[in-house]
Amino acid sequence: MGARDAAAGGVDGGLAGAWLIDDHDAGGQDGAGGRSRSSRGRGGAPVAEVLLGQGASLRLRDVAREDQAGAGRAVAGGVEGGDVLARDGRQAGHRAGGRRAIGGIAVDHAGSSQAGHRTRRRQGDAQAVQRLVALAVQLFLGEGRVADQIATEIEQLGASVGAGAGADFTNVYANAPANVFPQTVALMADLVRNPTFAQEELERQRDQTLDGLRVALSSPGSVAGLAAARVVYGDAAYGAPASGTVTSLPTITRDDIAAFHAARYSPSGASLVFSGDITEAQARALAQQYFGDWRAAAPTARTAPAAGAVLPTRVVVIDQPGAGQAAVYAAGRSVARADDAYFPLSVANAVLGGGYGSRLNQEIRVKRGLSYGAGSGLGLRLEQGVFTAQAQTRNDAAVEVSDLMLAEIAKLGATQPTPEELGTRQAVLTGGFGSSLETVDGLGSRVANLALYDLPLSDLATFVSSVEAVTPADVQAAAARALPADRMSLVIVGDASIFIDALRAKHPNVEVIPLTALNLDSAALK
């Protein structure tokens, strides 16, 4: 599910949605009863919160609390171990268009109500987890149904259903008109709780995924992104492609996927987020009706951290003879989403590579014409996230672009931005935040992500002030601490014959790996 930020503002009053988020953390289980989750601003006990809208303002209130930290709790009329979060958007201004609602498992559908269900993935066998998640969420077919029957039911409801996987979750979602929202939630519940994982569907999804991967592996930018994750995280879970690899995907069986579902899909860490034209009472009634008798599975064993140990930096060239352009990535560890440095780093990233006016784009594109666009991003995670700066350029300019990237990253931690530069980039962040809250799904996505990362819902109301409170000194300090240039690895994918000598003169430790020998199942990449 996308983690789109949103600001306090109006929402589409005619929309409603629900997101069921199942963020199981094997490493955080405490006894058989469930997982104790602790959020900033909340005690050790799990809390179910409801977010209600009043025009352009937001207010928060608790609707359920269990004072037994670590014990499974009943919320929404019986969903064990889960949070219920409702967003009532009916008091906000209505927009043109039909009233819609969403039910599902982790969602991000613009202009619609949504429901999403996520499963947190933190197993030691990184490759297996990533492969299983990526395929399993595509194969949720309700009990006694086949794909064509599901498609017919969805079409008759005027709904849509989909699935996806992220670094810390899997998701299934549904989007439907508000007048058939209960039926949509019922369908969602059946897909989540009673999947058949038909063999023919597994084979079809596997073939489609493999086709997509083969296309991606012909693109320097896609290859660089996949390789950068391995360079930063190695064999840890975060390093493995969520889509699997051309080698690993054919090894997955139906039994593998069914076992993953049985072990990971239960309400012991679930949050159900309703967004849009729906009241708290309606949300709780739907949760009770369709998920109230859902019982938690036995806790899974503790496993290795998903981020793994911090690894030495590397300079990796993946040689793609004849490639028309080179993709250049600088990548390194960042911080977890819940880290106190999140807001200063978000602003620092906006200064460095967030949009047309950012430093990277100005230096690489505007001043030198070396790329159609350069930027940077923070990949948010439950554990240490990933920072990347990236650009595509001519092969003969790859070394120059990599030098510029590292120089700008170093500058970010060495000097403070001017107040004018800082204010401009802060406005970009707060403006995007505000526009995303203008839709029900944007707000619901925000709430769902706060639930996933164990953060208080009050972060929604304080986002703008938190961004605006960041000072030039905060940006420099956060960048120096979390994004030092000497901890950045380089990954360049392109025609190495054109730039390898110049690169080796600057980086004698460079590793050259032919694209034909690239192994994304291995931390060594070969």
Asked if residue 159 and residue 37 are part of one domain, the reply reads yes
Query: Where on the phi/psi map is residue 213: left (φ > 0), alpha (ψ -120 to 50), or beta?
Result: alpha
Residue owning tokens 């070396």: 370
Residue 225: CB partners within 8 Å, gap ≥ 6?
329, 388, 390
Number of domains observed in the structure of the chain = 2
For residue 210, is pLDDT > 80? yes
Domain boundary among 235, 258, 291: 291
**Report for 6-20, 76-90, 436-450: range of highest mean pLDDT:** 436-450
The answer to whether position 30 is within a domain reads yes
Asked if residue 133 and residue 78 are part of one domain, the reply reads yes
Q: Measured between alpha carbons, how far is residue 54 from residues 9, 10, 58, 178, 320 in Å?
A: 9, 8, 6, 20, 56
Asked if residue 61 and residue 28 are part of one domain, the reply reads yes
Residue owning tokens 């590397």: 314
What does the pLDDT read at residue 135?
56
More confident residue, 238 or 17: 238
Asked if residue 285 and residue 352 are part of one domain, the reply reads no
More confident residue, 478 or 254: 478
Which DSSP string do the residues of 366-393 spell out, in sequence order?
ITT---S-EEEEEE--SSS-EEEEEEEE
Domain boundary among 291, 306, 325: 291
Tell me, what CATH number does 433's domain have?
3.30.830.10
More confident residue, 340 or 138: 340
Asked if residue 58 and residue 101 are part of one domain, the reply reads yes
Rounded Cα–Cα distance for residues 157 and 176 (Å): 7
Asked if residue 282 and residue 330 are part of one domain, the reply reads no
Asked if residue 321 and residue 287 are part of one domain, the reply reads no
CB 408 within 8 A of CB 359: yes
Q: What is the residue-averaged pLDDT of the chain?
A: 75
Asked if residue 217 and residue 272 are part of one domain, the reply reads yes
For residue 78, is pLDDT > 70? no
Judged by average pLDDT, the poorest of 217-226, 266-275, 351-360, 466-475 is 266-275
| Strand 47-54 versus strand 57-65 pairing type | antiparallel
Rounded Cα–Cα distance for residues 44 and 30 (Å): 12
Residue 376 C-alpha from the chain's centroid: 16
pLDDT tier at 415 (50, 70, 90 boundaries)?
A: very high
Rounded Cα–Cα distance for residues 53 and 40 (Å): 22
The answer to whether position 522 is within a domain reads no
The answer to whether position 310 is within a domain reads no
Instruction: Give the percent of the chain with pLDDT over 70.
Output: 67
The answer to whether position 26 is within a domain reads yes
What does the pLDDT read at residue 304?
67
Tell me the one-letter amino acid at 312: P
Q: Over the stretch 122-168, which tens digit does the pLDDT of each residue have? A: 333 444 444 555 555 555 556 556 667 777 888 888 887 766 677 78
Q: What number is the average pLDDT over the span 447-451?
A: 81
Asked if residue 360 and residue 252 are part of one domain, the reply reads no
More confident residue, 293 or 109: 293
Domain boundary among 291, 325, 340: 291
More confident residue, 59 or 263: 263
Rounded Cα–Cα distance for residues 267 and 120 (Å): 12
339-350: burial string, b at 16+ Cβ within 10 Å, e else: eebbbbbbbbbb
Q: Which residues pair with 100 in a beta bridge?
A: 15, 177
Q: Over the stretch 80-126, which tens digit does the pLDDT of each residue have? A: 344 455 544 332 222 223 455 444 433 222 223 334 444 443 333 44
The answer to whether position 4 is within a domain reads no
Which DSSP string do the residues of 133-178 spell out, in sequence order?
HHHHGGG---TT--HHHHHHHHHHHT-EEEEEE-SS-EEEEEEEEG
Structural domain that includes position 408: 315-517
Residue 164: CB partners within 8 Å, gap ≥ 6?
1, 106, 137, 170, 171
Asked if residue 321 and residue 285 are part of one domain, the reply reads no
The answer to whether position 104 is within a domain reads yes
The answer to whether position 406 is within a domain reads yes
Instruction: Give the percent of the chain with pLDDT over 90.
Output: 42
Dihedral sign, Cα of residue 242, residue 268, residue 202, residue 114: negative
More confident residue, 114 or 487: 487
Asked if residue 400 and residue 445 are part of one domain, the reply reads yes
The answer to whether position 299 is within a domain reads no
Residue 174 C-alpha from the chain's centroid: 18
More confident residue, 431 or 185: 431
Grouping H, G, I as helix, E, B as strand and the rest as coil, residue 115 is: strand
Q: Over the stretch 351-392, which tens digit does the pLDDT of each residue have? A: 999 999 999 999 999 999 999 999 999 998 989 999 999 999
Quick one: tokens of 361? 């784009």
Rounded Cα–Cα distance for residues 300 and 265 (Å): 11
Q: Measured between alpha carbons, how far is residue 341 from residues 347, 440, 477, 482, 483 in Å?
A: 10, 28, 9, 9, 11
pLDDT tier at 229 (50, 70, 90 boundaries)?
A: very high
Quick one: tokens of 508? 């004698």
Asked if residue 414 and residue 380 are part of one domain, the reply reads yes
Rg over alpha carbons for the chain, rounded to the nearest Å, is 23
The verdict on pTM exceeding 0.85 is: no
